[in-house]
Structure 1
Amino acid sequence: MQELPIGLSEAWSFFSSPKNLVRITPAHMGFKITTGEPERMYPGQIISYKVSPLPGIKTNWVTEITHVEDGKFFVDEQRFGPYSMWHHEHHFEEIPGGVRMTDKVSYKIPFGILGHLAQGIMVKRQLKGIFEYRMKTLEEMFGK
């Protein structure tokens, strides 16, 4: 969860534009949209990326925007990529003095017991780092 001192419409405008993902993703991940840079998301939209989850390893990641309720929430789900399953909900709520954004991420790692071990050793920490970077970058962009 993160609170920013901006209006709901400004927050929604920023986050509902897939091209802004690169601005809030750590540079070391080599994140690049490969389906062009769509201005606004919509239900059923397919977005593909190149990303480097580990140093020296690049992969394609394809997500679908499955649900959108303007100004309230949207959901992206992986269709192809590094996870067995990825479901990411983005919720927005107007609060006094700004907006509260809440992310809910559900995912599953492939490779059975090896994936489970990687989850505990590396994946969980990496995801936490990505979201911490995102929070810091958003505070720099919009204030605290």
Structure 2
Amino acid sequence: MPKIHLKTFIKAKKEIVFDLSRSVDLHLLSTEKTNEKAIAGKTSGLMELNDVVTWRAKHLGFYQNLTTKITAFDKSNYFADEMQKGAFKSFKHEHFFEDFEDGTLMTDIFKYKSPFGILGILVDKLFLKNYMKKFLIIRNKTIKKTAETEQYKEIIFSL
């Protein structure tokens, strides 16, 4: 099972980083290149425990739908989202938030299983793991940029 482990230091309060990380609106902002849309379930605002959202986006040249659910939630410290339906065989994305004097350390652990057995393993090694890592890095850069400026207020406080 491939695993992507990312750490991003953000000069902002943990609560702000946590809220941006679970914001449907921020996610849409970070995925403009894939033309991602929230088409069902929670389509804006902040995700909470048991919230479900269906995303539609163009990845690798194809439009795909992916339904995820928030399956674990510890306010300002941790949450996890897991695929309910989609192109993967399964995935779990864990988000951890740690306070530091001058900001927050955000840690992502993304584990997934590709479909199609041996062919899926080959696709992982050839490009999928790198594709997913770049996708998450772009998301984290958007969270960082938004949290470290006044822009976070437009997303969190506009609800």
- TM-score normalized by the length of structure 2: 0.82
Aligned length: 142
Alignment pair present for 1:14 and 2:20:
yes
**1:39 to 1:141, Cα distance in 2 relative to 1, 3 A:** closer
After superposition, the C-alpha distances for 1:18-57 in whole angstroms (9 at most, x for unaligned) are 22111222x33221111252322222111101022212x1
Stretches of structure 2 that go unaligned for 5 or more consecutive residues are: 1-6, 149-159
- Give the partner amino acid of 1:59: Q
Question: Quick one: which of 63, 69, 77 aligns to 2:68?
Answer: 63
**1:139 to 1:11, Cα distance in 2 relative to 1, 3 A:** closer
After superposition, the C-alpha distances for 1:1-28 in whole angstroms (9 at most, x for unaligned) are 0011001121122222222111222x33
- Give the partner amino acid of 2:57: V
After superposition, the C-alpha distances for 1:59-86 in whole angstroms (9 at most, x for unaligned) are 1100011011101111000000110010
Report how far residue 106 of structure 1 moved. Answer: 0.7
Alignment pair present for 1:32 and 2:37:
yes
- Considering Cα pairs closer than 8 Å and 6+ residues apart, tell me whether 1 or 2 has the greater RCO: 2
Match of 2:124 in 1: 119
Alignment pair present for 1:89 and 2:73:
no
Alignment pair present for 1:44 and 2:60:
no
Match of 2:133 in 1: 128
Identity, % of aligned positions: 26
- Give the partner amino acid of 2:48: Y
> Where does 1:88-107 land on structure 2 (aligned, <5 Å)?
88-107=93-112
- TM-score normalized by the length of structure 1: 0.90
Q: Measure, in 1, the Cα distance between the counterparts of 2:37 and 2:125.
A: 27
- Give the partner amino acid of 1:76: D
